[in-house]
Amino acid sequence: MTKILITGGAGFLGSHLCERYVHAGAEVLCVDNFYTGSKQNIRHLMDRANFELLRHDVTFPLYVEVNRIFNLACPASPIHYQFDPVQTTKTSVHGAINMLGLAKRVKARILQASTSEVYGDPTEHPQKEEYWGNVNPIGIRSCYDEGKRCAETLFFDYRRQYDMPIKVARIFNTYGPRMALNDGRVVSNFIVQALSGQDITVYGRGQQTRSFSYVDDTVDALIRLMDTGDDVTGPINIGNPVEFTILELAETVIRLTNSRSKIQFSPLPADDPRQRQPDIAKAREILKWAPRVSLEDGLRETIAYFKDTINSAPR
């Protein structure tokens, strides 16, 4: 039986990946230090014989026997990764070193969950994998941006030096059920504000753009990338190429929640990218993948989840 290690497995994206593999019959080892992950996300898997949970911080070495490794461990929203930026960088860099070392020892295939943030505030639009990015290396977001860029460097150096089977996925704005109420990313912020009747906070004039990928689509792409041959390393963009302005997103959330919330404009945060849209030609060609869930359909599922979460919270 294939044994799969998923670091950050109790997080938003990681828990969906764990669930998909558990249901497929694989043996899954979920590793998380619960900095942003939650036991609630994987509670429904705890009684499954092919699921195991290990509390561990990837900045320290890990000694287990596995066949495949998904390295997802790292806080992914600004509110979390800026809270302890030194630890964020350590998680990306030391975590990559430790997981690559493990993969080298046990001869496992390993996938790095990188990010569209490696493109920074892009001067190329849409962003292709060959684009080197426009990142501020000393800004408040650089702990995440540069940490992920360094992790990619390590992955490709291990490939060149040790001929290891690596995969690098550059993930664009993913959303869906199991995002935390305090996640801090734009979709969860807007939904929580709308359901609570608060004003929706839009930075700038809301004309900056993002491309939103529903979590089921992202997980499908990650699994397809892991299943490719050793000659496929990436990086490969994983995201939805349909671009929306932040103002359009806010208006859509208000409409779908039937909220009376008003839109409140605030100054743009430092280094906030103006445009973000993936070129997914490689994903279409190599993975035979394209997102299937529309923004409205995905938002409906996500709103329903947040309604249940808010209604069931202790008062």
For residue 175, indicate whether it is catalytic.
Answer: no
pLDDT at 81 over 90: no
List the single range of 48-57, 75-84, 131-140, 255-264 with lowest mean pLDDT: 75-84
- The residue with tokens 């997981």 is 99
| CA-angle at 153, arms to 152 and 156, nearest 5° | 85
| CA-angle at 193, arms to 191 and 197, nearest 5° | 120
pLDDT at 271 over 70: no
pLDDT at 303 over 70: yes
Which segment, 74-88, 173-187, 278-292, is predicted with the most confidence on average?
278-292
pLDDT at 72 over 90: yes
**Is-contact 149 118, C-beta < 8 A?**
yes
Q: Domain residues of the chain, as ranges? A: 3-177+213-240+277-292
Superfamily of domain 3-177+213-240+277-292: NAD(P)-binding Rossmann-like Domain (3.40.50.720)
Give the residue-averaged pLDDT of 106-113: 98
pLDDT at 63 over 80: yes
Catalytic residue (choose from 35, 81, 119, 144): 144
Binned at pLDDT 50, 70 and 90, residue 310 comes out as confident
CA torsion angle for 233, 90, 84, 73 (degrees, to 10)? 40
Question: In angstroms, what CA-CA distances link 145 with 129, 161, 177, 217, 268?
Answer: 15, 24, 25, 23, 18
Average pLDDT, the chain: 93
pLDDT at 168 over 90: yes
Binned at pLDDT 50, 70 and 90, residue 267 comes out as confident
pLDDT cut 70: percent of the chain above it: 97
Give 40's contacts (C-beta < 8 A, 6+ positions apart). none
Give the residue-averaged pLDDT of 188-210: 92
Give the residue-averaged pLDDT of 41-50: 97
Long-range contacts of 254-258 (CB under 8 A, 24+ apart): 254/194, 254/200, 256/296, 256/299, 256/300, 256/303, 257/191, 257/194, 257/195, 257/303
Instruction: Note the pLDDT of residue 145.
Output: 93
Give 1's contacts (C-beta < 8 A, 6+ positions apart). 25, 26, 27, 50
Tokens at residue 239, please?
């995201």
Q: Which pTM was predicted?
A: 0.94
Binned at pLDDT 50, 70 and 90, residue 249 comes out as very high
pLDDT at 118 over 90: yes
Give 144's contacts (C-beta < 8 A, 6+ positions apart). 74, 75, 76, 78, 81, 82, 88, 92, 115, 117
pLDDT at 315 over 60: no
Instruction: Note the pLDDT of residue 11.
Output: 95
Instruction: Note the pLDDT of residue 312.
Output: 77
